[in-house]
A and B are shown apart, each in its own frame.
Chain A
Amino acid sequence: MDVLPQEIERRVSAIGTADIVIGIPTFNNAATILDVIGAAQSGLHASFAAARSVIVHVDGGSHNPTVELASNVASTNGSEPHVLKLSQLPDGVTQRAVAQYVKPAKGIACRTVFEVARRLRAKACGIVDADAGSPDADAIAQLVKPIVQESYDFVLPIYKRGAYSGTITSAIAYPLTRSLFGKRVRQPLAGDFACSTRLLDRFLALDPWRGDVARVGIDVWVAVQALTANARLCQVHLGDRSRDTSADGAAIAATDMRDTLPSVLASLFTSVERTEAVWQKVRGSDPVDTFGAAAAPEPEPSPFDVRQCLEAFRLGVANLHEIWSVALPPVSVHALRKLARVSDDKFALPDELWARIVYDFALAFHQRRIGREHLLNAFTPLFWAWIASYVQQVADASPEHVEERLEALCVKFEAEKPYLISRWRWPDRFTP
């Protein structure tokens, strides 16, 4: 199976070799594509003037002028990086996938970029999401710098985010990946990352390029591969980069939690399932090398209505407890029922219970106790409960206090890991 079509192969051969490759996957990103390509060009030119850099733009079949706008960018401009524009997805990504998923086949797009980077024998390859707002030119260079200059294998950014932004990362992705793989990677689903040739070869040698990974789960998959491959990891503080939640970007940012949460959970739980031999041996967690200065986010009003969050949770308790009982042990279901009776102002979801709920859902997903789609969708009211509890706890809190709050949650996830291991190994024998 040819990863690169012949025409693209010919253009890659014409370029010859490169030191740095930056991939920009797009889908309906007309509002941001020029800024992102521009930032990549000027950032690479400013920081790596002596290096040969190539920017690869891969579009997933946009319905707006993303491709046309990108086409207007000169392929090469003097000493600035070469821009390679690929307006088609290789491997025939079907229209069904395009219709079904808001942001189709980022995984396939990444694979194309990886393949181009390998053909060009690049030392570093970065992926920059085009649905995040205009990036700082320096940020893109900072993302690949640890690989080029410090021989790291994998770099993830830490973007400045408010207390209420990235709640899925804060509540589930960060604590879960940290407790399972023992590395404190703060934003494992950042969307942007950079990797070394060694890791690139590993990615391409594996065959995850079908199913969820090919479509939407690439961010989780790449991070988990790096976490489980003894790769040298680091993080870089890259300042502010909020996702584009306006106009075209609104669809891509998938602001509706009911759509986003199940797909992220599916990617995470699939990774948990596939790496069971690795994470069962890991205890505790270690900090990861971090570069750059952390910028404190400005205080922001909560976008969540706590009363409605709790109503959603109570409706779930009243109607979904039978489905939850398939995944959760009786003691957890009982605790949730008790919580539903607590008044709004006193509502607090204990971290221990939350950690166990996430672990139990991961186990139920693995064991296919009920249909996976049902299981993941039934999680949503529980997440509203966590948000209600969290919003009340961090209201008017300083950024340091917010981080302390999340640190306490992560510590609880680590403390409860033996519970997951016991239930994973002996699901029938160990039911509290």
Chain B
Amino acid sequence: MWKQVGQSLNESASRVIAGLASILPGAAALVLAMIVAVLVAVSVRWLLWRVLRAMRFDDRLETLGFAPVAEWSPAKSPSLLVARFAYWVVILLGLLIGLAAIDANQMSAMMGRVLFYLPNVFVAVILVLLGGVLARFLARTVLIGAVNMQIQSARLLSAGVKWMILVLAVAMALDHLSIGGDVLKLAFAILFGGIVLAMALAVGLGSKEMVSRTWEHQADRRESPVMASTDHV
């Protein structure tokens, strides 16, 4: 009996070792592909950034009227944004090449499924990222603008804008991933409808006089502290 147990163990060990041996070249290829991809990506990022800097890409973009791109991009540099994007594209390519090398048959089936879903994930991530960047940018714009117009509830306005955009972006991303389905749409319809209805009721009924007083007061405050026309420059 012990002989049979030993034989079974030997066979299973052989199978595992054989399996590992069959995967090993693919795994080595994956590691190699990733190392090469990282090296290429770093070089591409560095080269692209240097070239764009030499071309004064940021200034040109601003000159051509694309100032908001510069305002929204991380580190306020569109060159850096382009360079980082190129970096991640190369890394993704390296990963796909490496994965394809592990086991062509199994991986191609799995990758087929992944690749089929990947665009949705990609778009969802982009939506959330863009929503986050846009929310931060617009929240800051509203905050500064409201303060300069001397609106007392500047921070509230800014936060409102920020969360509206964030919630909208997340909802769009979830919708794109087919998560939540009709519940999500319904929740949104109720939420937005509720906000609009609450504001309409507040202005139209309950707080009519208070809102009127507030706006009158704020209209006075929005006057510039300069009482007479003067030449500031």
Contacts and interface: CB of A to CB of B under 8 A. Distances in A.
A308 B223 contact: yes
Given A319-B143, A320-B143, A308 B225 contact: yes
A166 B233 CA distance: 4
Binding site of A, secondary structure by majority: helix, strand, loop or mixed? helix
Given A303-B227, A315-B147, A319-B154, A371 B71 contact: yes
A96 interface: yes
Contacts of B226: 255-257, 303-305
A381 B76 contact: no
Nearest to A161: B231
B225 A372 contact: no
Given A315-B147, A380-B148, A96 B65 contact: yes
Contacts of A315: 147, 150, 152, 154
Contacts of A246: 229
Interface in B70-121: 70-72, 75-77
B62 to A, nearest CB: 7
B155 interface: yes
Interface in B216-233: 221, 223-233
B176 interface: no
A381 B71 contact: no
Nearest to B151: A315
A418 to B, nearest CB: 27
Contacts of A301: 228
Contacts of A312: 147-148, 150, 225
Contact of B147 (A173, A319, A370): A319
A8 interface: no
A272 to B, nearest CB: 16
Nearest to A377: B144
Nearest to B154: A319
A334 interface: no
Given A211-B63, A305-B225, A368-B77, A381 B148 contact: yes
B222 to A, nearest CB: 10
A380 B62 CA distance: 23
B141 A374 contact: yes
Interface string A237-259: 00000110110001001111110
B55 to A, nearest CB: 14
B137 interface: yes
Contacts of B65: 96
Contacts of B62: 211
Contacts, number: 120
The contact size tier of chain A is: 35 or more
B227 A304 contact: yes
Given A210-B63, A374-B141, A250 B229 contact: yes
Contacts of B231: 161, 165-166, 242-243, 245, 253, 255
B interface: dominant SS: helix
Given A168-B233, A258-B224, A303-B230, A373 B147 contact: no
A323 B70 CA distance: 17
Interface string B40-55: 0000000000000000
Nearest to A94: B65
Given A309-B225, A319-B155, A384-B225, A377 B148 contact: yes
Contact size class for B?
A: 35 or more
A304 B232 CA distance: 11
A260 B230 CA distance: 12
A155 interface: no
A242 to B, nearest CB: 6
Given A255-B226, A319-B143, A374-B140, A260 B232 contact: yes
Given A256-B224, A303-B227, A373-B71, A320 B147 contact: yes
A371 B133 CA distance: 12
A130 to B, nearest CB: 15
Nearest to A302: B227
Given A311-B221, A312-B225, A166 B147 contact: no
Contacts of B145: 377
Contacts of B175: none
A374 B144 contact: yes
A17 interface: no
Nearest to B77: A368
Nearest to B229: A245
A164 interface: yes
A167 interface: yes
Given A257-B224, A373-B71, A323 B150 contact: no
B67 interface: yes
Contact of B229 (A191, A303, A323): A303
A269 to B, nearest CB: 14
12 contacts: A96-B65, A161-B231, A189-B233, A211-B59, A254-B232, A255-B230, A257-B226, A303-B230, A304-B227, A308-B224, A308-B225, A309-B225
Interface of B: 59, 62-63, 65, 67, 70-72, 75-77, 137, 140-141, 143-148, 150, 152, 154-155, 221, 223-233
Interface of A: 96, 161, 164-169, 173, 189, 191, 210-211, 242-243, 245-246, 250, 253-258, 260-261, 264, 301, 303-305, 308-309, 311-312, 315-316, 318-320, 323, 368-374, 377-378, 380-381, 384, 387
Kindly list the 7 A-B residue pairs having the minimum CB-CB distance in the complex, ordered from nearest.
Answer: A371-B71, A308-B225, A368-B76, A303-B228, A245-B229, A211-B63, A243-B231
